[in-house]
């Protein structure tokens, strides 16, 4: 482990400083920003030992401020993915959010967790970001104390662990919105990557990408990633992981770049995985320059009683972990 002191990465228009933490261990080098918990860069070796950054990111803070829409590498909350009609019932009260995606709420609202500056402190082989999201922030109830701990383990895997508590009933769905290109962040179209997802079902959606509520069998469809297939383009869908919600992180997906040999194995405690083939990316990126694999609960769970619950109540501790492990073959 090489220790790096956090550096100044940029300054927000209101004068708030944003810092960059750099972690290095077992061949992996990760840069994490206190703005939005963004993983700006993640460098890993290929089968010849050549290192490349395998996630999309901007070189400076200005890029993130000018282009928030793709949520590049960000920590997304309070509710990753969509809430239909930007409203949800909880204990008999209907909470209204500000729609920011057609009629729906996407990724926590206009100023979600990805646009906040987090407090940062060191932990063994990593850092812990934390903040208090006040009651009513972006329309969500409950004062939420939330943290995300980023560490590199002895094998060089990036582990992101989330914890949260609330003082009133609320809903919560957190994800890391990384876009991977295992050939390198500047290698161009990533549609030739081979992807496997341990999911026999997915959640079909309507025209606004809201799940219909059905858990549909993937057999015989382009959603069957149980055997490896090319990612191509045109995916923005949640897969129902066969393992379900698990107390410890279990394998959910594997992404492989045949050219470099780099392989990413994602394990998670979460029950769902959103595959987004990045069909809309701002310049300097082109469509499908990366592949977003977002571990999470299913979209619109607060309005879908049949989906695993995203409700967090006072006295409970929300815990979630996702592991991004790298290897070559």
Binding residues for beta-D-galactose, by number, are: 81-82, 177-179, 236
Residue 159 and residue 190: Cα distance in Å, rounded? 23
Is 251 an interacting residue with respect to ligand BGC (CB under 6 A)? no
**Strand pairing partners for 39?**
32
Q: Tell me which of 7, 17, 62, 69 binds ligand BGC, using CB under 6 A.
A: 69
Give the range of 57-65, 69-77, 134-142, 161-169 binding ligand BGC by CB under 6 A. 69-77
Question: Which of 31, 138, 294, 321 is the catalytic position?
Answer: 294
Residue 290 and residue 273: Cα distance in Å, rounded? 16
CB of 162 to ligand BGC, least distance (A): 17
Residue 288 and residue 167: Cα distance in Å, rounded? 41
Residue 88 and residue 172: Cα distance in Å, rounded? 12
Alpha carbon 277 to chain centroid, angstroms: 14
Residue 295 and residue 74: Cα distance in Å, rounded? 13
Is 274 an interacting residue with respect to ligand BGC (CB under 6 A)? yes
Cα dist from 214 to 58, 79, 201, 245, 306, whole Å: 38, 21, 9, 18, 9
Q: With H, G, I as helix, E, B as strand and everything else as coil, classify residue 224.
A: coil
Residue 65 and residue 69: Cα distance in Å, rounded? 10
Is 300 an interacting residue with respect to ligand BGC (CB under 6 A)? no
Q: In what order do the strands lie in the sheet with 236-240?
A: 179-180, 291-296, 272-276, 236-240, 201-203, 216-217
Question: Which of 19, 107, 176, 177 is the catalytic position?
Answer: 177
**Does the annotation mark 7 as catalytic?**
no
CB of 80 to ligand BGC, least distance (A): 7
Binding-site entries: 81-82, 177-179, 236
CB of 275 to ligand BGC, least distance (A): 9
- Residue count, binding to ligand BGC (CB under 6 A): 11
Q: Tell me which of 70, 109, 112, 272 binds ligand BGC, using CB under 6 A.
A: 70
**Does the annotation mark 176 as catalytic?**
no
Q: Tell me which of 31, 137, 294, 321 binds ligand BGC, using CB under 6 A.
A: 294
Give the range of 29-37, 65-73, 148-156, 320-328 binding ligand BGC by CB under 6 A. 65-73
CB of 46 to ligand BGC, least distance (A): 27
> In residues, how long is the chain?
329
* Catalytic residue list: 177, 294
Residues that bind ligand BGC (CB under 6 A): 69-71, 81, 209, 236, 274, 276, 280, 292, 294
């Amino acid at each position: 482990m090489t220790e790096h002191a956090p550096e100044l990465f940029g300054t927000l228009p209101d004068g708030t400083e944003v810092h960059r933490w750099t972690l290095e261990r077992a061949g992996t080098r990760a840069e994490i920003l206190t703005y939005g918990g963004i993983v700006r860069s993640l460098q890993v070796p290929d089968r010849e030992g050549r290192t490349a950054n395998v996630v999309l990111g901007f070189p400076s803070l200005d890029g993130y401020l000018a282009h928030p829409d793709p949520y590049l590498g960000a920590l997304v909350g309070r509710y990753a993915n969509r809430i239909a009609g930007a409203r949800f019932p909880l204990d008999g009260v209907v909470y209204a959010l500000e729609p920011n995606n057609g009629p729906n709420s996407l990724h926590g609202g206009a100023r979600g967790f990805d646009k906040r500056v987090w407090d940062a402190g060191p932990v063994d082989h990593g850092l812990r970001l934390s903040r208090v999201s006040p009651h009513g922030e972006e329309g969500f109830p409950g004062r939420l104390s939330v943290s995300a701990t980023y560490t590199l383990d002895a094998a060089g895997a990036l582990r992101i662990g989330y914890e949260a508590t609330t003082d009133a009933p609320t809903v919560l769905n957190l994800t890391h919105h990384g876009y991977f290109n295992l050939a390198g962040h500047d290698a161009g179209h990533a549609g030739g990557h081979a992807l496997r997802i341990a999911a026999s079902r997915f959640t079909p959606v309507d025209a606004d990408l809201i799940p219909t509520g059905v858990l549909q069998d993937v057999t015989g469809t382009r959603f069957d990633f149980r055997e490896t297939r090319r990612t191509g383009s045109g995916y923005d869908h949640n897969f129902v992981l066969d393992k379900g919600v698990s107390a410890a992180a279990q394998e959910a997906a594997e992404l492989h770049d045949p050219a470099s040999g780099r392989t990413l194995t994602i394990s998670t405690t979460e029950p769902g995985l959103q595959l987004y083939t990045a069909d809309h990316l701002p310049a300097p990126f082109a469509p499908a320059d990366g592949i977003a694999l977002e571990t999470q609960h299913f979209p619109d769970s607060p309005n879908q009683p049949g989906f695993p619950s995203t409700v967090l109540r006072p006295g409970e501790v929300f815990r979630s972990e996702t592991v991004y492990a790298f290897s070559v073959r």
